[in-house]
Amino acid sequence: MFFHPQAMPAIDFDNISKTFRHGIRRQSALTAISLSIQRGEIFGFLGPNGAGKSTAIKILLNFIRPDRGTVRVQGLVVGKDRFQHHIGYLPETPCFYENLSGLETLWFAGKASGMDGHRIKENTHQVLSRLDLKAAGAWPVRTYSKGMKQRLGLAMALIHDPRIYILDEPMSGLDPLGRRLITDVILDLRKQGKTVFFSSHILSDVERLCDRIGILDKGELLFSGAAAEIVQDGSSLEDAFVRLIEEHEKAHGV
Amino acid sequence: MTRKGTAVLLFSLGLLLFSFSTSHLALKERRKELGVSYSLHIDSFSAGLVKTFAGEFKGLLADYLVLEAGAFIGSNQDISHNQWEKIALAFEQSLGLDPYFQQTYLQVQGDLPWWAKMPEKTVSLLDISRRHRPWDWYPGYYMGFDYYYFLKDYATASDLFLDTAKIKGAPVLLAVLGGRLALKGGRTEAAIVLLQSMLEDPELDEVEKKEITERMVALRGVLLLENAIKEYKHHRGTYPPSLETLVDEGLLEKLPENPYPYVDGYFYNHENGHVSFDRPE
Amino acid sequence: MSKIFLIAWITFKDSIRNKALYGIFFFGLVLFAANIIVTGMFSWEMGKVAVDVGLSVVSIAGLVTIFFLSINLVSNDLDKKTIYLILSRPVSKFQYILGKYTGLGLIILLSSSVLGACAALSVKVATCNVKAYIPLHFSWPTFFLGLTFLTLSLLVVLAIALLWVSMTTHPFTAVLLSLFSYFIGQNVENVKNIITTSKMFAENPMLIRVTECVSWVFPNLAAFDLKTTAAYGLAVDAAYLMWVAAYGLSYIGVCLIMTVLIFQRRELA
């Protein structure tokens, strides 16, 4: 893939810091994170639990405000400009209005993103088939299995055909078939020139899908770049990852 | 669960059910004997404070209080004076929450003056109903009756009857009664004026017109005689020995006629100068 | 604007399919049947008792809906992060709050309409025998006026409840604070009267000032209570009603705006 160096990044974290206050205790969640995701690439966001991945994503989506720094989506400043129409978001364990059906949920998603009824109908058809939810469309969401809910969440991210996808642990809770489906969808998106930014624990998926990765630990960005750069002498990404984390934690006297 | 486990559970269930029914029956008997099966739960809060607990459900609470008081009265128990006080308080609280309710004043009048022997309390409660139900002549009528019968306050009774008689639909009886009591209470002129104005009501039938006219004539007669007696006393220092004396002395041309056919003329008591158009008690 | 109605619509649709709502309706219907029995216990003017019970049931059902259903729904949105799926789309927090309120308000309107109709029916049935059982001036327009203002009162309580939810983390806290606000709202006028007229408190200007403050902060819900007027068909002052309506709507507006402002500052961690 050839990336034009002057092209505006799809997502840009610029020196983001965030501290949480729990009573008198202060917990530093993110420290001076700077990260760029280019257009058309699949970017994998990795890190152990509690590293700050969710926090970074929440700041990206304007759910929480950073103490310092700016996030930009397509050049638009998060928190100041309206950027949501450019993105499709899948949260970690999506929760829906349980009494609505899959179809009604997607209709709502489309309408909320400013689509007209006709286009929603077309896209719903397409998206539900793609994610193997055609049959369940009319049933209320409360009857869905975990895997189905995950797929419906992805459907909501796809329905309005945005340019940028932000997926938080998209494979979590899925069986191998479901994982395969999601992987195919993500690869499809890349073929269409979309940008995909996703966080994951499953390093084998990351290895297979991502053009570049970012590794986060204890709020610090340890590495960002092509996976090949940190994989040394034929070891797997997993080994490289574990080694990097351990070195970092040792350096910090943990 | 194992067979043994289920058997133990079922056996325990049987035992407990037996214990439950036995104790239930025993309690029922015991509590009946104690006489606590029917007691009155009226907290002694002022009417204003009760409103606080009722919030937007004042109407319901008012209904409930009336019901509770009424049920207790109707429960055929001997009610002590303290309990009557509580019942009166319940009615007062109820009126504080809803002063419009008809059932409240009907029950107040039905029980408080007679059985509880609380006519003063009765009239104060009835007054609340009366002021809030200007279309309803019953509260005023009952009040008038209580003032007359229990409190022997003829003046107030007459005022109430005459006032209540003005309400649309009130029976003419009120005016007539009011007139009678006016006499006793020194309100004769006011009564005559009211009766005169009532005669102008086009909806009166012949019988009602006759009743009012007769009462008016009788009162006028009494007034005439009373004024003449007053003049006589002023000049002579004593009451005249008989009504005829007034004619003899030239104070009256002739004695006014008593419209009521069952008597002959007016009754006169020469010791205190009282005149009445029917036999005094 | 249409986004607000969109949120309102899905809130409404989701709530109406909630099984709890059926429970509330069923409860209402049972109480209306009970109305027949309750009115039978009185010997005079039962019509007024029937109206009392009928309108009170509508009120209680509305309050139960607010405290046990509506608060939970919004809390769940925040707890279970359903809200992520809404705010990650081009929907502002302002549109979200207003949409939520409108949707929940529609549920209240629906419950008041349905149960109100049942109340009217039960009043008719309870007094079908003799005309003398109905208060002299009772009129159906006044009855429905009572129903309308009762509903407005519920909408005010809903607005307060939403404000509390935006400020608290646990739904339980929000329920308690809302109940508390409701109770104060119902009684603030009465307590103020007691305090200002009783000689006992004349020596205590601090208390009087505090009570005055409270009466401005909390809504005077007693002003919306027209149950007695409805029961007896008492005279209604149109100007008074207009003022009450203005008061209610303004209060709701203030609550909603405050909720939006607080919500805008709130982090969705």
pLDDT tens digit sequence for A6-31:
578 899 999 999 998 877 888 888 88
The complex's ipTM works out to 0.88
Neighbours of C1 (CB within 10 A): 7
Inter-chain residue contact C59 with B101, CB threshold 8 Å: no
**pLDDT given at position B41:** 62
Q: What CATH architecture is B3-220?
A: Alpha Horseshoe (1.25)
Tell me the chain B residues in contact with residue C234 when contact means C-beta distances shorter than 8 Å: 100
Q: How far is B106 from chain C (nearest CA, A)?
A: 9
Contact yes or no for A84 and C6 at CB 8 A = no
Q: Is C196 in the B-facing interface, judged by CB distances under 8 Å?
A: no
Q: How would residue A233 be classed by pLDDT, with cut points 50, 70 and 90? A: low
A161 Cβ under 8 Å from any chain C Cβ: no
> Are A112 and C91 a contacting pair at CB < 8 A?
yes
Q: What is the pLDDT of residue A254?
A: 56
Give residue B36's pLDDT.
Answer: 44
Q: Which residues pair with A33 in a beta bridge?
A: A16
Share of chain A above pLDDT 90, in %: 57
At C87, is the pLDDT very low, low, confident or very high (cuts 50, 70, 90)? very high
Tell me whether A76 touches chain C (CB under 8 Å): no
pLDDT at C5: 95
User: Residue B207 has what pLDDT?
Assistant: 82
For C9, the token pair is 């619509």
Query: Which segment of A48-57, B160-169, B252-261 scores lowest on mean pLDDT?
Result: B252-261
Q: Which of A84, A97, A113 faces C14 most closely, judged by CB atoms? A: A97
The pLDDT of residue B37 is: 43
Q: What is the mean pLDDT of residues B164-184?
A: 83
Q: Does A82 touch chain C (CB under 8 A)?
A: yes
B58 to chain C: which residues are within 8 Å by CB?
225, 227-228
Q: Could you say which DSSP state residue B265 is in?
A: S
The helix/strand/coil state of A77 is strand
Residue of C nearest to B99 (CA): C228
Question: Is the Cβ pair C53, B101 closer than 8 Å?
Answer: no
CB contact under 8 A, C10 and A140: no
Cβ-defined contact of A112 to C269 (cutoff 8 Å): no
With beta carbons less than 8 A apart as the criterion, state whether C38 and C49 touch: yes
Is the pLDDT reported for residue A243 higher than 80? yes
A and C touching (3 or more beta-carbon pairs closer than 8 Å):
yes
pLDDT at residue A150 above 80? yes
pLDDT band at B150 (very low <50, low <70, confident <90, very high): confident
Q: B42 falls in which pLDDT band (50, 70, 90)?
A: low
Mean pLDDT of chain A: 89
So what's the pLDDT on residue B115?
Answer: 82
Quick: pLDDT tens for A161-198: 999 999 999 988 788 898 899 999 999 999 999 999 99
Whether residue B101 contacts residue B66, with contact meaning beta carbons closer than 8 Å, is answered with yes
Subunits with 3+ C-beta pairs closer than 8 A to A: C
Spell out where B134-257 has E strands: none
Quick check: C106 and C12 in contact, CB under 8 A? yes
Which residues in chain A touch residue C100, judged by CB atoms under 8 angstroms apart?
none
CB B56 within 8 A of CB C222: yes
> How close B59 comes to chain C (CA, Å)?
6
Residue in chain C lying closest to A90 (CA): C85
Most confident of B111-115, C20-24, C96-100: C96-100
d(CA C147, CA A44): 59
Contacts of C269 in chain A (CB under 8 A): 20, 58, 63-64
Measured between beta carbons, which residues in chain B are less than 8 angstroms from residue C41? 67
Task: Please check whether residue B101 touches C, CB under 8 A.
Answer: yes
More confident residue, A91 or B1: A91
DSSP per-residue string spanning C215-255: HHHS--GGGG--HHHHHHT----HHHHHHHHHHHHHHHHHH
Specify the pLDDT at position A213: 92
Whether C226 contacts chain B with CB within 8 A: no
Condensed to tens digits (0 to 9), the pLDDT of residues C34-67 reads: 888 888 888 888 889 999 999 999 999 999 999 9
| Model confidence at B105: pLDDT above 80 | yes
Pick the residue with more confidence: C130 or B207? B207
Q: Does B55 touch chain C (CB under 8 A)?
A: yes
Pick the range with the lowest mean pLDDT from B134-148, B174-188, B219-233. Answer: B174-188
Residue C222 with chain B: CB contacts under 8 Å: 55-56
| % of chain A residues with pLDDT over 70 | 96
Residue C163 half-sphere exposure toward CB, CA atoms < 13 A? 20
CA triple B93-C183-C107, angle to 5 deg: 115
Q: Which residues of C touch B67 (CB under 8 A)?
A: 41-42
B175 falls in which pLDDT band (50, 70, 90)? confident
Q: Is A47 left (phi over 0), alpha (psi -120 to 50) or beta?
A: left
- What does the pLDDT average to over A111-116? 92
What would the two tokens of residue C153 be?
A: 């009162």
- Chain C contact set for A96 (CB, 8 A): 82, 85
pLDDT score, position A204: 83
pLDDT the model gives residue B44: 67
Across chain C, what does the average pLDDT equal? 89
H or E, element range at A213: strand A212-217
Contact state of A95 with C82 under an 8 Å Cβ cutoff: yes
pLDDT band at B48, cuts 50/70/90? low
Dihedrals phi, psi of B271, to nearest 5 degrees: -75, -35
Place of tokens 């397509």: A74
What pLDDT band is residue A2 in, cutting at 50, 70 and 90? low
Say if the Cβ atoms of C45 and B55 lie within 8 Å.
Answer: no
The answer to whether C225 contacts B135, with C-beta atoms less than 8 Å apart, is no
* Max avg pLDDT among A205-219, B50-64, B248-262: A205-219
Helix-strand-coil split of chain B, %, nearest 5: 65, 0, 30
State the Cα–Cα distance between residues A76 and A63, nearest whole angstrom: 16
Which of B266 and C221 is assigned the larger pLDDT? C221
Report chain C residues touching chain A, CB-CB < 8 A.
Answer: 3, 6, 10, 13-15, 17-18, 80-82, 84-91, 267-269
Contacts made by residues C17-21, CB under 8 angstroms, sequence distance 24+? C17/A99, C17/A100, C17/A140, C18/A99, C18/C69, C18/C73, C20/C68, C20/C69, C21/C65, C21/C69, C21/C107, C21/C111
Task: Spell out the SS3 assignment of A157-211.
Answer: HHCCCCCEEEEECCCCCCCHHHHHHHHHHHHHHHHCCCEEEEECCCHHHHHHHCC
Residues of B whose CB is below 8 A from C154: none
Measure in Å the smallest separation between the Cα of B125 and chain C Cα atoms.
Answer: 18
What's the pLDDT at C98? 96
Higher pLDDT, C80 or C175: C175
Contact yes or no for A90/A170 (Cβ under 8 A) = yes
Contacts of C181 (CB under 8 A, 6+ apart): C157, C160, C161, C164, C218
Q: pLDDT tens across C221-259, in order?
A: 999 999 989 999 888 889 999 999 999 999 999 999 999
How confident is the model at residue A5, as a pLDDT?
54
Instruction: Say if the Cβ atoms of B106 and C44 lie within 8 Å.
Output: yes
How many Å separate Cα C110 from the centre of its chain? 13
How large is the average pLDDT for residues A100-108? Answer: 94
Q: Which residues touch A144 (CB under 8 Å, ≥6 apart)?
A: A102, A136, A152
β-pair type (A11-22, A25-37): antiparallel
**Where in chain C are the domains?**
2-265
Edge-to-edge strand ranges of the sheet holding A87-90: A87-90, A164-168, A195-199, A42-46, A212-217, A220-225
Interface A-C, measured as beta-carbon pairs within 8 A, has a size of 73
Query: What tokens were used for C52?
Result: 């009392």
